[in-house]
Amino acid sequence: MIKGLYSAVSAMIMNANRQQVLSHNVSNMEVPGFKQILSTAEDYLQTSVADPMDILEDRDSVREVGMLGLGVKNGQEMIDFSQGGIQITNNIYDLAIQGTGFFHIKTPEGDRYTRDGRFIRDASGMLVTTEGYQVLGKNSQTIKIPDGQVEIGSAGEILINGVAASQLDFVEFEKPEEMLEHDQGNLFKTNGTPTAAKNSSIIQGALETSNVNSAQVMTQMIEILRAYEAAQQMVQNQDELLGKTISSLGRIG
Amino acid sequence: MAYSLFHTLNISCQDMLNRMMDLDTIANNLANVNTVGFRGSRMNFQELLSSQKLEGNTVNNTQVLNNQGVITRTDNPLDWAIQGEGFFAVKLPNGEIGYSRDGVFQLDSKKQLVNSSGYLLKWDGQIPKEATSVSVENGGEVIALLTDGTTKTIGKVQLAVFANPTALVNAGNNVWIPSEASGKAQMCVPGTNGCGIILAGAHEMANINLADEMTHLIQVQRSFQVTSRVFQQTDTMISEAIHIRKV
């Protein structure tokens, strides 16, 4: 009986966790390039169950009657790398990616990759992110933008007054789900080797919106609430049953 | 993974506060949709994640939008619009130099060029007493129209450009001051490399697109609504956890 109580509670914890992930996704709904986090649930441990009569009567051999699940736990979080919408901003350093490509960023913690194309030309003319991290070009070189008319082509080539000046390191990952790990601030780190982008293109003067869909979020949220309620009801039932057992069993007269 | 429903409440709460700041920015942009030479701003939000703990989002910075506003003709020789990069340098009452694209100039009682906020334009030259009006050429040469009907070049006005004009700080009255991130002002001759030209008899309208701002407004309102629903639901979940025991 206690096993059931803990199983029910595990479902409450799991759903509270899903709610947290959902809340994080919602609060990043307006962050360009944000990729929603998908929460998963998996079966917790299994235990074998013996025939209760065998135990009660203290028989020599205990007969196994099957396996019992001990509840649920949160599985590994996954990132949904699907394409977000493209929103036109007409800002020359706003870049959106159509396809599966990533920009290469240098942070104090090491190399990172992002889909967030809100870049800025800083006071020294370097191309940086809104956090001030350097945007990297070919061979992991930082990019300096000289004065002049800036044009950024679909493969990441930077033209100043129509003349090629530098090139963004625009990459793709064969299996982003496996090769990229979510890091702080909309960035990803990798344990693999990226390849030059072939099937993606950059759009200048636009941003990729997050791929969080509010309609999907609302339905997910109802699902979470109902699952949480059901689990809470199960806890109550187990509690009642336990209470009855304690108070009624063994009562004389 | 660390989890707490109260932390989830906090994520939503922080997000609602951030949406309200975003709304303030939109309101300021919309309020200045008819301000000559005004530059709109945008707030850059970023995901917040500390040591793999989900924390919602945070404001990274506010970016000044630097695209060109629409030029409209006014035929007043003292209305100067900038097409391209650059700002007029004006003297602020505290003695500092501010930068503005507001090119609606007037001649004050001392025959000095002041903009619509009353700040003196910084330029090389002097307006003669016999001038009836003053105008400007594309390259920045200031021209006086004299009482006898002739014109005379009386000086030059230069424009200030910045390495990163998106990081200028709004000082109010349509004036911007440089910050560490924007770099220092560099004066340039209008029409030369990287420097815009001056058009006399024209206004540059605010670089705000009404349709874009309204769409953004709707977006902010809807995402606020979703977040407040998430907040309410987290609250319901906490309440259910509290009332798990039937009395």
Residue A248 — φ and ψ, nearest 5°? -90, -40
**Option in A90, A118, A184 nearest B49 (CB):** A184
CB of B18 within 8 Å of a chain A CB? The answer is: yes
Task: Kindly report the nearest CA distance between residue A62 and chain B, in angstroms.
Answer: 36
Nearest-neighbour CA in chain A from B215: distance (Å):
11
Cross-strand partners of A127: A121
Q: In what order do the strands lie in the sheet with A163-167?
A: A150-152, A157-160, A163-167
Q: Is A99 left (phi over 0), alpha (psi -120 to 50) or beta?
A: left
pLDDT tens column, B82-115: 999 999 999 999 999 999 999 999 988 888 999 9
- CB count, 10 Å around CB of A131? 18
Structure tokens at A122: 């800083």
pLDDT of residue A167: 94
Residues of A in contact with B230 (CB under 8 A): 19, 22-23, 26, 217, 221
Give me B226's structure tokens.
């979703």
pLDDT at B25 (0 to 100): 95
> Alpha carbon of A158 to those of A2, A203, B209: distances in Å?
65, 12, 27
| Pair B236, A224: CB distance under 8 Å | no
pLDDT of amino acid B129: 86
Chain A partners within 8 Å of B223 (Cβ): 26, 29-30, 214
Q: Assess B174–A contact: CB distance below 8 Å, yes or no.
A: no
Min distance A126 CA to chain B CA atoms (Å): 9
Q: How close does chain A come to B219, measured CA to CA in Å?
A: 8
Any CB–CB contact under 8 A between B224 and chain A? no
Confidence at B133, pLDDT banded by 50, 70, 90:
confident
Q: Is the pLDDT of residue B242 over 80?
A: yes
For the beta carbon of residue B166, count every other beta carbon within 10 angstroms. Answer: 23
Among B7, B16, B20, B47, the residue to mutate for chain A (most A Cβ within 10 A): B47
For A:78-117, CB contacts with B below 8 A are 90-93, 116
Tell me which residue of B180, B163, B156, B213 sits closest to B29, measured CA to CA.
Answer: B213
- Is B163 in CB contact (< 8 Å) with chain A? yes
- Chain B nearest-CA distance from A217, in A, is 9
- How confident is the model at residue B225, as a pLDDT? 95
Residue pairs between chains A and B whose CB atoms are closer than 8 Å: 152
B56/A23 Cβ within 8 A? yes
Cβ B70 vs Cβ B205: under 8 Å:
yes
Å between B202 CA and nearest CA of chain A: 23
Instruction: Note whether B219 contacts A186, CB cutoff 8 Å.
Output: no
**Pairwise CA distance, residues B176 & B179, whole Å:** 9
Query: Mean pLDDT over residues B147-157, rounded?
Result: 90
| pTM for the structure as a whole | 0.89
Render pLDDT for B32-73 as a digit per residue (tens, 0 to 9).
999 999 999 999 999 998 776 888 999 998 999 988 999 999
* Residues in A touching B18 (Cβ below 8 Å): 27
- Going from the first residue of chain A to its last (253 residues), give the mean pLDDT of each consecutive group of 10, the final group possibly shorter: 86 94 95 94 88 80 86 92 94 94 94 95 93 93 90 94 93 92 90 92 96 94 96 93 85 69
Of B131, B112, B242, B138, nearest in space to B197 by CA:
B138
- Asked if A213 has any chain B CB less than 8 Å from its own CB, the reply is no
pLDDT of residue B28: 95
pLDDT for the residue A64: 85
Which residue does chain B place closest to A130, by CA atoms? B60
